[in-house]
Amino acid sequence: RFNVPYQLGSGLYDVRLAEEIKMDVEPEDVIVAGTDGLFDNVHDGELEELVRKGKQDHDFPSLLAMKIAEFALGKSFK
């Protein structure tokens, strides 16, 4: 239900219910992992734009991660 996340490993749900996704990746691909704090506040298109700009600016992964986190934090206050 609303505002109650589905939490694997919380004791309520069996971790074998986890969805496994396999994808081919290529050099220069960027994988973004995050929690609901990121994905509840940042739309896919916004995240894609942040990553594209970070790659264009030749940001190091840690700097790009910080920019994404700061963007998500800013959106959480709106």
pLDDT for position 45: 96
pLDDT for position 5: 63
Q: d(Cα 24, Cα 45) in Å, to the nearest integer?
A: 21
pLDDT for position 38: 92
Element (H, E) at 36: helix 36-39
pLDDT tens profile 41-57: 999 999 999 999 999 99
pLDDT for position 1: 53
